Structure 1
Amino acid sequence: MLEQGDQIGFLIVSGTFLTAMMGTFIVAMVVLHRQRQVQNRQKIDNLKSEYEKTLLNIENEIQQETLTQVGRELHDNIGQLLSLAKLNLNSAKPEKQAEGKEFINQIIKEVRALSKTLNLDWVEEISMDDFIRQQLHRIESTGYCQTLFDSDQSFNELSKDSKLVMIRVIQECLNNAIKHASPDQIQIKIYKEDSLRKIDIIDNGRGFDTSIQSRGSGMTNLKKRMETIGGSILLSSVPGKGTHITLSLAF
């Protein structure tokens, strides 16, 4: 009877110990799970904050660039039209006064067009294809270099926020080509590849050695901006043979 009692006591003690161990394990798992939830929430909050910060910076940059463009248009274009209108309207000749009125009508149209660019509503209205065509047309119209554009229109359905990021990244890539590459030709191609939409920006300029770390933070900023919309940027370049940049975004 004593041995049987010892066995029962041992089983009770063992069961209590195992129950305590299981309870401790469960509590530890719950605590660990909650810690991971908190960490995940913090990561999500950080990503959201970084995304909103990126969009705000991009909006400010685009608005600043727009104001600069508006200033140039007011000085070079509308200012000249106003001077011509004044000269013609001050003339005693009816035909000159008629020309002056035509200049006034043209000025009104130009001012209306400029007013639309002072906010970012144009981002929603313009397609990626049309935006890229405008950018390439501006480059080619200056006589800087030739441009080519080919698109399957796969980027034309983007949210305003994603489009903002893509617009600024493309602008920066083109600006870098103009400033540093001195190309004879810039080509942009839009296409699909597997589950990705891609934009190739290719120039035949001087190129550079990608193994040499750049002192600037330009490419790092572009990578971060693409990452905020779930995209990526890949750059390849060879001295004397140009630069090839690929922007990728999942469907």
Structure 2
Amino acid sequence: MESEESQIILYISTIIIVFIIISIILLFAVFQKRKNKLLLKQKATKKRFEREIIETQIEIREETLRNISWELHDNIGQLLTLAKIQLQNATPENIKDVSQTISKGLNEVRALSKLINPEAIKNIELEEAIQLEIDRFNRLNFIDSSLTIKGKEQQIDKKVSIVIFRILQEFFSNTIKHSKASKLDVVLKYTEKEMIVSAQDNGIGFLASEEKGKGIGLDNISNRAKLIGAEAVFTSEKNKGTTLLIHYKL
């Protein structure tokens, strides 16, 4: 009788042990599958991020070269033409005007030279990149622009800076092309936990329902912000301007 009970206990114990082993194997298999899936997802996300960075760099370079081409043709070309006309009609009284025109042209060329080198575009810091855009808007009388820095500057990953700058470039472009604004204010604020970028114009604004028709690309800006773990928030009212806020956790 005791022998039979011992055999039953042994049998049940064996079944329990086998069940536990099988459960552990299954759990390990599920864990490994999820781990592999997560690794593949992380790899795909990293690959998408790197691809987006490359595409963003190309877009920035193309936008910059378009601006350089425009300035060479329309702005500097006009200054040189004006200087030529002034020289043809130069007198002792107006020779100072000729000198001023040539000096202005040289200043324009120096400003452009900072952006002609592809490495300069690639390695430029976020604050300097924004300031160059602001200076260009003011120099060409596109719009009255300003950049304000608040707080202690923090080191930002170069790839993050590239994406943020491209987002701002899109906002600037839309402000100049669509908003009919006369003023653009950009604020870069650093706190211990985050960097907040604010860009605000005083233009005609828009309604959310009108955004798709005007090509302002809010979805594109929002998706790019998410790519670097940031949040981009738009606020706009008819005839009260538009504001873009970017929150990036340090």
Deviates more, 1:46-55 or 1:180-189: 180-189
Partner of 2:118: helix, strand, or coil? Answer: coil
Question: Could you say if the C-alpha distance between residues 168 and 36 of structure 1 is closer, same or farther in structure 2, counting changes exceeding 3 Å?
Answer: same
The number of residue pairs the alignment matches comes to: 238
Matches within 5 A, 1:120-131: 120-125=119-124, 127-131=125-129
- TM-superposed deviation, 1:173: 1.0
The residue aligned with 2:197 is 199
- TM-superposed deviation, 1:147: 2.4
In structure 2, distance between residues paired with 1:249 and 1:73:
33
- TM-superposed deviation, 1:219: 1.7
In structure 1, distance between residues paired with 2:109 and 2:211:
45
* Amino acid of the structure 2 residue aligned with 1:121: A
The residue aligned with 1:167 is 165
- Flag structure 2 segments of 5+ consecutive residues without an equivalent: 88-94
TM-score of the pair, normalised by structure 1: 0.78
- Flag structure 1 segments of 5+ consecutive residues without an equivalent: 89-95
* Contact 1:50–1:228 (CA under 8 A) maintained in structure 2: no
* Contact 1:209–1:237 (CA under 8 A) maintained in structure 2: yes
In structure 2, distance between residues paired with 1:80 and 1:146:
21
- 1:158-209 Cα shifts (integer Å, max 9, x gaps): 2332221121111111111222222232111111356211001112222222
The residue aligned with 2:12 is 14
Question: Could you say if the C-alpha distance between residues 165 and 37 of structure 1 is closer, same or farther in structure 2, counting changes exceeding 3 Å?
Answer: same
The residue aligned with 1:56 is 54
Aligned residues with identical type, % of pairs: 18
The residue aligned with 2:230 is 231
The residue aligned with 1:250 is 249
* Contact 1:203–1:242 (CA under 8 A) maintained in structure 2: yes
- 1:96-134 Cα shifts (integer Å, max 9, x gaps): 9xx99xx7xx87x94896385241334424x33332222
* Contact 2:203–2:240 (CA under 8 A) maintained in structure 1: yes
* Amino acid of the structure 1 residue aligned with 2:227: T
* Contact 1:129–1:155 (CA under 8 A) maintained in structure 2: no
The residue aligned with 1:28 is 26
In structure 2, distance between residues paired with 1:217 and 1:243:
11
The residue aligned with 1:157 is 155
* Contact 2:61–2:121 (CA under 8 A) maintained in structure 1: no
- TM-superposed deviation, 1:66: 2.7
The residue aligned with 2:92 is none
TM-score of the pair, normalised by structure 2: 0.78
* Contact 1:129–1:153 (CA under 8 A) maintained in structure 2: no
In structure 2, distance between residues paired with 1:181 and 1:147:
14
* Contact 1:55–1:161 (CA under 8 A) maintained in structure 2: yes
* Contact 1:58–1:165 (CA under 8 A) maintained in structure 2: yes
In structure 2, distance between residues paired with 1:164 and 1:55:
7
* Contact 1:186–1:204 (CA under 8 A) maintained in structure 2: yes
The residue aligned with 2:42 is 44
C-alpha RMSD of the superposition: 3.6
- TM-superposed deviation, 1:18: 0.6
Partner of 2:131: helix, strand, or coil? Answer: helix
